């Protein structure tokens, strides 16, 4: 019986349980987990801050491993039949229905109401559906991709990479643009790398703590600022000095703080673009201190402000292509030494370290 | 000496003055005003609520009339040389420089810092540059368009028409979309007409007072709601009932009220678009009552929120094409009976009526 | 046993056969055909000019009727469960897989290699899958839409309406643009209507014969020209006279003649758009007489030339919304008197009339 | 009196002449040429293959040097006043009018009919307006940019860099896309570099001769093929093997050969994009051997084919930003050793070497 780390209910510590080995439906598979990750969302899951989440649940939405057992047939997007033993990863989003108004008319598949996410909206009652476990049950229709990448390089991107890729795509960066990234967590770091990959001339980062800003600089940020040491006015002046007084062409907000969304508008030049990708958890409304002024902050500036929710298969697929390429994957490969490693039994410690911002990225090794 | 209605300084009543007939520079002209308009911005000008405005000034940014005197040569975009006697209108925006970073690199000409606007940012010291006068001095480089339209039909659109056209263009409406227009002033009314012209299946309008909502219905709105009679929850329910529970595909905010920007996001379906075009004057920040929540209102919805500032020549040109066409101009022609007419000497009365929302649109007849 | 009109093999006359009533799989249905259509593709099917088509086959890809028998559950995109007796139509394209590279990475579902089309690439061996029959077997996953439209109004649009909608969408028409439609068959006629619905100021049509050009004028074309009476130079002069010497902003090629694609480029103004939607059947290469010159016809003009294949569910859905709306459907409703009606037994006559261009649109009444 | 290399008339050898030093109009300047370039267009100029070119003329459209004399004021897009002694380059396109229909309504400034190009459509009668001279007369309104780049690195990009940047921008490359570049001349080489800068995972190049293909590999092409050694079928097989049988996501045609435009369509995957940027000179129509089939090559593939003419200031500005950046400019800096250098008196030799494809890029050193 495989072991799994389970959040039994909101605000409870993770427990290690042994769960029955899944019975395979036709066209499903067993996936042996090599590595899974701990992301900020997992902290909120443990704190019970996400709505509509079924407890008990096994966290871990992005994982890498291999297929140990296949019943029926599983194919990748190129139509290749996958085999037992294949090294793969899979899109955490499952059951995007291709039958509803959002999928078929709006073509906004990230807003399909039937979407389920492994490790987040699939609970233990749905099967062994999270990565903090020795095995994951891959239900029929799970989108698998063969993955030749080094496991730790892949996990250095983790779930942040496709999310950042979606954000960067939404940002409409042009060659030689100046980009500002707010936030220096995993999504921020991958956004810096990808904005440069997209042709930005310079990428600035405002975040914290210094440990993470050092990483931002290492992956190529042209300048970093610790927001804890400067008030909003100071941050704005810092940025304007570096952008000819205009602000960034594109700002990617990846912070989690509601007020940062308003500041992102102010940091962006007129007729620029702001991508809001950091508001995955409900932290309540913008404060009155933020003083969001639609005339000055939005209308007169002729800004585009673009919400960006999750990612779809195309982002995940492109992320895997990148991270599997010896050259393109280098920035993430260089992050390997910054990763923190935990066994299944250390899941609570991993959560605590991520919650405190003590680590750049925590990985779970279930075996 | 031509007569002009002048706002001498903020919060002062309009005065009628006689001003010297302009001396023409090369490639400039005298324009005899047939009709000019009173728009909401003129009310704010009189109240001193716009920044960077030079007093004394002659209001009136969109006007129709004819060229009475030309020095040198004035050509339209087709290269035709205009002649004395030609019936024309002209773009109120002047001196978009085609030489700065915003014009040439960002291609965001509405944000060119050298732009000047007849009747708003040109004061009396710059010459006779507003439409509430018998004559306007058309400086070199003013963009004129021959206009065969009926004068009152043209003015029924007025400055609101190109503004609404810009907003509708930014909205990215698809054929058979559902559009919500917030606000039933001139920009709102033209937005309804243009959203239908763009292929929207149904356009709803939330505004006030009933007088204007009747106009909204007459120009084709499929449903109207008086926002003064329903709280935000009531308005949202009303809209969701009419949109399969999803909200509008595209919402055009044309109200002037800061909180309406937040509500516009809530009225729009996931992955839809919100165009913010109603925040021309600084009415301060969004209230804490609005409770703008970036997670719920923007990120998770994957919304596009698009500021829309003024209009450029293309919008004005297209607006004139439409209003000069016997068929396309019908909705504005039908508004003629709703227009209110004032002589130059009645300018204060006109401002008061517009400020109070007593009239749909006020026109100044300087002769 | 339901009767069906069958093309037994290429270049053979249609035969009426009695076929066994389908056995329903779970979540499938029987559809009683009220009306089906005869389109140009059906002529080519009978002539054996399409590749990869399985004979014998029952033609008829777009039909309207009602569900007489449902096994399991069939839902529309809004999640409503359909019931026996419901009046519906359905997207002829079936089995767009949502699992391949084209569906998931390129997001080009019209190029999904697993697509099947009722009445074209489903043959009789696949079941009763064409509309020239008393019944159609709706396989699981068929996309149905409730349809309140008058049957003949719906069929006046027929398969041409979503195709034209896709083309018009690809054309990127702006308000007040001038559009040229090449071809006056069903796709051309619907393109005229939809280009106007999209805000075009004027739509011109070059086609033949005069019978169809009369229809083009009736639905709103500002000018029509019979291409059989003017050579290419004459047509170009005619158009340039009407477009200030520039050509059309957007040209929609809906002819079927390879050389028309090259002419479409010449009829379009610099930096305009050409949508190629009329080349559904392989008529071989462009002739040397067409003299396609990439320097003059494409590069120097900075044209966008956009191929447009079939349509996806969104186009079909929007088409049904339009044709179900009392106001928006008027242009198609007005075509009812131009429709030609045939019984199942008259299918060969219908094909001959369509092939000869003697009718605007032929409809099959299987009952 | 400055010396200049002059093409006296079509098909005549270049002559060195001494021309009077220009008299400066207000807001104009003298530019001392450090380096100018010889591009393929110059070969065609000498052969008299461009229409509307005024002879005698001084070739050389992109140059780098410094301002030796300013009359009045010259500012860059940031509003900085330039001074005598400043190291600058300037956009070869002059007099984009900002007043015509193409500039103001279509926003297609590369198609403004008033554009003039230094070294191409300005002849000697217009003043000293080409770069193969000791001095250039910068007319009022010429768009100058301060340039800190190494002169040879800048010229390694030369006029090809903004042209390629425009093409790559038109191509809509996504992160991890596969790009095919047809042609290995200067535009092809810069397109490879820029496609990679834009996030392409792999860029392939089909061109000739091997000398240039070696350069393509050195700047990062993942694979190169000499088109002279493989027929069209062989080239297609080569590409399909490397693209999972689908073809390139984006193809940039930069060859000059009309038939390559048709092949570009075939080398591109369904629903991909083809940018046609290599057809700057009229080489006549596509051959019948090319067998352009609109059904197979365009409509059924749902391709986007995009003509791309010249470049505008934004492309030139971004190009200068890139080439002035120590990191981004590396690929061009690495080409320095491949540049061939000529004195003014060797201009005929330079033209001959370029015409024969013996050199990658020829530079003129007028001093």
User: pLDDT digit string (tens) for D278-329?
Assistant: 999 999 999 999 999 999 999 999 999 999 999 999 999 999 999 999 999 9
What residue has token string 């030093």? Answer: D21
Contact indicator for D275, D188 with CB cutoff of 8 Å: no
Q: How far apart are CA C50 and CA C282, in angstroms?
A: 8
Report the mean per-residue pLDDT for chain A. Answer: 97
Q: Which tens digits make up the pLDDT trace of A219-266?
A: 999 999 999 999 999 999 999 999 999 999 999 999 999 999 999 999
Q: Say yes or no for a CB contact (<8 Å) between C318 and B168.
A: no
Q: How far apart are CA B159 and CA C185, in angstroms?
A: 41
Chain A environment of B284 (Cβ under 8 Å): 293
Q: What pLDDT sits at residue D32? A: 98
Q: How far apart are CA A271 and CA A174, in angstroms?
A: 13
| Min Cα–Cα distance to chain C from D319, Å | 20
Q: Shortest CB distance from B78 goes to which of D75, D77, D101? A: D101
How many angstroms from the chain centroid is the CA of residue D131?
A: 15
Q: How far apart are CA A336 and CA A152, in angstroms?
A: 6
Inter-CA distances, D194 with A176, C6, D198, D252, Å: 11, 55, 6, 11
Q: What pLDDT sits at residue B51? A: 86
Strands D178-182 and D248-253: parallel
Phi and psi of D234, rounded to 5°?
Answer: -65, -40
Q: What pLDDT sits at residue A302? A: 98
Which residues partner with C116 through β-bridges? Answer: C94
Which residues partner with C340 through β-bridges? Answer: C362
Q: How far apart are CA A230 and CA A209, in angstroms?
A: 13
Which residues partner with C204 through β-bridges? Answer: C180, C223
Which residues partner with B7 through β-bridges? Answer: B57
Chains that contact D by 3+ CB pairs under 8 Å? A, B, C
| Min Cα–Cα distance to chain B from C74, Å | 19
Q: What pLDDT sits at residue B357? A: 87
How many angstroms from the chain centroid is the CA of residue B199?
A: 22
Q: Say yes or no for a CB contact (<8 Å) between C78 and B201.
A: no
| Min Cα–Cα distance to chain D from A163, Å | 13
Q: Is A176's Cβ below 8 Å from some Cβ in B?
A: no
**D186-197 vs D210-218: helix axis angle to the nearest 10?**
20
Q: Say yes or no for a CB contact (<8 Å) between B79 and D100.
A: yes
Q: Which of D40, D278, D302 should be substituted to probe chain C, the one whose Cβ sees the most C Cβ atoms within 10 Å? A: D302
Q: Shortest CB distance from A322 goes to which of D175, D244, D318? A: D175
Q: Is B78's Cβ below 8 Å from some Cβ in C?
A: yes
Which residues partner with B117 through β-bridges? Answer: B93
Q: Which residues, including other chains, have CB under 8 Å from residue A210's CB and lie 6 or more apart?
A: A226
Q: What pLDDT sits at residue D9? A: 97
Q: What pLDDT sits at residue B310? A: 95
Task: Give the pLDDT band of residue A357 (cuts 50, 70, 90).
Answer: confident
What are the start-end ranges of the E strands in chain B? 3-6, 15-18, 28-38, 63-71, 87-90, 93-94, 116-117, 135-138, 144-146, 178-182, 202-207, 223-226, 248-253, 268-276, 304-307, 339-343, 361-365
Q: Which tens digits make up the pLDDT trace of A117-155?
A: 999 999 999 999 999 999 999 999 999 999 998 999 999
Q: Which residues, including other chains, have CB under 8 Å from residue C251's CB and lie 6 or more apart?
A: C179, C180, C181, C182, C264, C265, C267, C268, C272, C273, C274, C275
Q: What is the pTM of this model?
A: 0.98
Average pLDDT over residues C223-239: 98
Q: Shortest CB distance from C197 goes to which of B78, B175, B328? A: B175
Task: Give the pLDDT band of residue D52 (cuts 50, 70, 90).
Answer: confident
Q: Is B100's Cβ below 8 Å from some Cβ in C?
A: no
Chain D environment of C121 (Cβ under 8 Å): none
Chains that contact A by 3+ CB pairs under 8 Å? B, C, D
The four Cα atoms B166, B171, B173, B179 give a dihedral, to 10 degrees, of: -100
Phi and psi of B30, rounded to 5°?
Answer: -100, 135
Q: What pLDDT sits at residue A52? A: 85
User: Nearest to residue C142, comparing CAs of C197, C93, C207?
Assistant: C93
ipTM exceeding cut-off 0.90 for this assembly: yes
Inter-CA distances, C336 with C188, C280, C332, C333, Å: 17, 26, 7, 6
Q: Which of C101, C140, C144, C322 should be substituted to probe chain A, the one whose Cβ sees the most A Cβ atoms within 10 Å? A: C101
pLDDT in tens, chain B (367 residues): 899 999 999 999 999 999 998 899 999 999 999 999 999 999 999 999 998 899 999 999 999 999 999 999 999 999 999 999 999 999 999 999 999 999 999 999 999 999 999 999 999 999 999 999 999 999 999 999 999 989 999 999 999 999 999 999 999 999 999 999 999 999 999 999 999 999 999 999 999 999 999 999 999 999 999 999 999 999 999 999 999 999 999 999 999 999 999 999 999 999 999 999 999 999 999 999 999 999 999 999 999 999 999 999 999 999 999 999 999 999 999 999 999 999 999 999 999 999 998 899 999 999 8
Q: Is B182's Cβ below 8 Å from some Cβ in A?
A: no
Chain C environment of D169 (Cβ under 8 Å): none
Chains that contact C by 3+ CB pairs under 8 Å? A, B, D
| Min Cα–Cα distance to chain A from D321, Å | 7
Residue B118: asked if its preceding bond is cis (omega within 30°), the reply is no
Q: What pLDDT sits at residue D25? A: 96
Q: Which residue of B has its CA nearest to D143?
A: B99
Q: Is the pLDDT of residue D336 over 90?
A: yes
| Min Cα–Cα distance to chain D from C278, Å | 8
Which of A77-101 are b and which e, b meaning 16 or more Cβ less than 10 Å from the residue's Cβ?
beeeebeeebebbbbbbbbbbbbbb
Q: How far apart are CA A193 and CA D172, in angstroms?
A: 20
């Amino acid at each position: 019986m495989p072991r799994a780390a389970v959040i039994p209910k909101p605000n409870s510590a993770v427990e290690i349980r042994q769960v029955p080995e899944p019975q395979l439906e036709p066209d499903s598979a067993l996936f042996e987990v090599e590595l899974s990750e701990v992301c900020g969302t997992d902290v909120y899951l443990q704190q019970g801050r996400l709505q509509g989440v079924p407890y008990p649940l096994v966290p871990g939405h992005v994982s890498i491993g291999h297929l140990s057992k296949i019943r029926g047939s599983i194919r990748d997007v190129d139509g290749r039949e996958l085999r037992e033993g294949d090294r793969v990863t899979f899109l955490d989003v499952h059951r995007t229905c291709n039958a509803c108004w959002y999928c078929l008319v709006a073509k906004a598949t990230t807003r399909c109401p039937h979407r389920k996410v492994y490790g987040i909206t699939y609970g233990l009652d749905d099967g062994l559906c999270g990565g903090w476990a020795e095995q994951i049950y891959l239900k029929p229709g799970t989108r698998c991709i063969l993955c030749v990448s080094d496991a730790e390089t892949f996990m250095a991107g983790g779930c942040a990479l496709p999310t950042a890729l979606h954000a960067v795509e939404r940002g409409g960066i042009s060659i030689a643009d100046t980009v500002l990234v707010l936030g220096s967590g995993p999504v921020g770091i991958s956004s810096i790398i990808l904005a440069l990959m997209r042709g930005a001339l310079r990428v600035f980062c405002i975040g914290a703590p210094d440990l993470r800003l050092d990483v931002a600089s290492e992956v190529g940020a042209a300048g970093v600022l610790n927001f804890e040491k400067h008030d909003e006015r100071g941050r704005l002046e810092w940025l304007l000095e570096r952008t000819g007084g205009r602000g960034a062409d594109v700002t990617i907000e990846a912070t989690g703080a509601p007020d940062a969304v308003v500041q992102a508008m102010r940091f962006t030049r007129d007729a620029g673009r702001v991508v809001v990708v950091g508001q995955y958890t409900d932290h309540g409304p913008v404060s009155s201190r933020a003083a969001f002024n639609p005339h000055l902050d939005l209308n007169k500036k002729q800004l585009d402000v673009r919400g960006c929710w999750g990612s779809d298969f195309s982002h995940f697929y492109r992320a895997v292509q990148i991270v599997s390429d010896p050259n393109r994957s280098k920035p993430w490969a260089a992050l390997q030494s910054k990763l923190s490693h935990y066994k299944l039994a250390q899941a609570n410690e991993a959560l605590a370290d991520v919650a405190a911002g003590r680590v750049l990225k925590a990985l779970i090794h279930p075996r």
